[in-house]
Chain A
């Protein structure tokens, strides 16, 4: 569990005349309720945050919906997320794509004494670079495979239809290679465009993109948390990290649940950027 010291949040939903109080418990006052329904977080069966708001299903089957516009501002939504996700596990959370890792990844640890830390606000370049690199880290081997398949297919087609393989293989080979490379490049470019377009999606739907973020890289773990909810004790342990990759502008750490943590290099002084890379590589496998 993490973010246990954040003060609770009170959200009033005018459509359903319900008041939600979240803290150590999840509580709901109905319109005419004298006493609220109080649930322990263990009783929350599922929590999903989609574009239209937050939906919480409790163990007795009751479903509560908090629309996006019920939150007074972005800050309240961020705090709400931090408290709720800090109490839940990945198993009962369903979330839209985020810029920052979901809060259930975090655990409370000693305030890191020796660490690299910085404040930043993500920009398009950071996210694009990271996003493209992330996309290519996932699709790279498939692009190469597609290229090889096209190469082989073109070569076989030429050999079958044109014949005289022994005499003409010298011409068939570069033509096939060109076709394979061309298709691979085309797929690469399309995936890059898709990856870049996702930034617009993040900005549109993730309120964290509009807030200052604290980046921490410490012995016990790493963090990329909205400054408004960071208490100095939350880190994702290195054991949760899967691998990392580095681009010219960004370091991206991916977690086992597929969430990612973007670390823009620009927020750290130039003389420590290499130290950070080698520090991360000593703790998690590079890709």
Chain B
């Protein structure tokens, strides 16, 4: 039977989204249960007969999950063709409306309800590691629980961290340069992802685009398809009891009264566990991890530098958990209060409140984050939070933080002993960062371009591709290297630039 897709457009505080009802879907893309051991639930994202990514966990809503790659989506070309690529190009480049652009993919899904939305995705594992080579080994990840305690069940959030479905052998800096050049020309590029669990989605298409955006330090826009598979208990005023009154997906909570009866019946009659056509093969493949072919590749320093700037799972969870945090609330928190007018500001637990506030501000408002954390680090009563706060400050390159850590390093106060090492490392990093900034300012730092990129070499030479490409980016062949006769970086130049730079101000507490 032909797939029947009905789409309704809607909007909530996170933005616009599509509510999609799939009936008679082809069942090519979906998640199935591949559990082997009792007591541990294993689910696998499948495409055709391939198990791409598996998720394992105890059967508990609030425990973090283990995620690992099984196979590469390149093996599914026979069933997917170029449909995924076209969805991404149609939507991001051709400007086709989202509902029309994703239609071919929606037809390939298993029956059920889905939320489709576009938003910024972060190509990391939620702990500051580059996504593409972070899932070879099965390991537990923060922010993967279906119900994230910091956010709670009733709040909406965008599952922004990405899990690759393509093998890392497809990582090519030549292709990244090409994609980066497209961005430079003003073309919009992006990706397509399928929600797995918690804040994590599997990137089905757009791996190279994600790298290009990351290399250029730009946001990576991504279409995410989220299956609606959960329900939400709300208080029913008529019966004065909690009962199921909404359907739940991370991006949207759908009150039952807002859903048409046919759509709701489709949700209720479809099962969470689907048995795809090639179930035994998928189950067998889910037992095997993805094997990295060829030598271990490095990634571009542009990517590794920018990855540190992306939010981590804790930061994102706090950002979605707190709707607003005015200065008045921050002052109360610093004064040791957790309530305002008998209302809990963030959490009844004081230290939890400080942690969430730090994360929220770091994600939403860097200036206030630096002010808040500086005040914390100058308040001896909050010494228990010093290590956590210092860890959060580690990757923020700012003159005020540099000054603060300088003072901490020089301080003989014993309360700073646990964070002195962090402060010392920060000062070194900050110095390196300044050097790089000056280099960029004087034009010695590379920039991604696509000109004169040689074809990638096959066989043994392929292992060196990454290093060579990196070198190209750094020197002249592919990057905006200094032209002949142009000034190279010199320590004297740096000294001059630094001397002329405005003196960093430090807020004394």
A→B interface (CB under 8 Å): 4-10, 21, 23-25, 27, 29, 34-40, 60, 108, 110-111, 231, 233
Contact = CB atoms under 8 A, between A and B. Distances in A.
Q: Which 8 residue pairs are nearest across A and B when measured between Cβ atoms?
A: A8-B269, A38-B244, A35-B256, A5-B275, A4-B273, A21-B268, A27-B268, A5-B273
B33 interface: yes
Contacts of A231: 275
A95 B256 CA distance: 34
Contacts, number: 61
22 contacts: A4-B33, A8-B268, A9-B269, A10-B265, A21-B268, A23-B269, A23-B270, A24-B268, A24-B271, A25-B268, A29-B261, A35-B245, A35-B256, A36-B264, A38-B244, A38-B256, A38-B268, A39-B244, A40-B231, A40-B244, A110-B283, A233-B275
B212 to A, nearest CB: 40
B275 A111 contact: no
B493 to A, nearest CB: 66
A111 B268 contact: no
A21 B273 contact: no
Interface residues of B, number: 24
Given A35-B245, A38-B268, A231-B275, 8 more contacts: A4-B272, A8-B269, A23-B268, A34-B257, A36-B256, A37-B243, A40-B244, A111-B283
Contacts of B241: 60
B42 to A, nearest CB: 12
B85 interface: no
Question: Interface centre among A23, A27, A38, by most B CB within 10 Å?
Answer: A38
Contacts of A38: 231, 243-244, 256, 268
B293 to A, nearest CB: 29
Question: Interface centre among A8, A111, A231, by most B CB within 10 Å?
Answer: A8
A111 B271 CA distance: 19
B231 A7 contact: no
A35 B232 CA distance: 14
B161 to A, nearest CB: 27
A36 B280 contact: no
Interface string B267-309: 0111111110001100100000000000000000000000000
Interface of B: 33, 35-36, 231, 241, 243-245, 256-257, 261, 264-265, 268-275, 279-280, 283
Contact of A25 (B36, B231, B257, B280): B231
Contacts of B245: 35
Contacts of B257: 34-35
B270 A8 contact: yes
A56 to B, nearest CB: 15
Contacts of B33: 4, 108
A8 B273 CA distance: 12
A21 B283 contact: no
Given A34-B257, A60-B241, A7 B269 contact: yes
Contacts of A39: 244
Nearest to B230: A24
A8 B35 CA distance: 22
Nearest to B266: A8
A10 B269 contact: yes
Question: Interface centre among B231, B261, B268, by most A CB within 10 Å?
Answer: B268
Nearest to B247: A38
Nearest to A33: B261
B240 to A, nearest CB: 11
A24 B265 contact: no
Contacts of B231: 25, 38, 40
Contacts of A5: 271, 273-275
Nearest to A60: B241
Question: Interface centre among B270, B271, B272, by most A CB within 10 Å?
Answer: B271
A23 B256 CA distance: 17
Contacts of B271: 4-8, 23-24
Given A35-B245, A35-B257, A111-B280, A21 B265 contact: yes
B480 to A, nearest CB: 56
A54 to B, nearest CB: 18
Contacts of B279: 111
Contacts of B261: 29
Contacts of B275: 5, 231, 233
A74 to B, nearest CB: 20
A111 B35 CA distance: 12
Contacts of A23: 268-271
A86 to B, nearest CB: 11
Contacts of A25: 231, 244, 268
Nearest to A5: B275
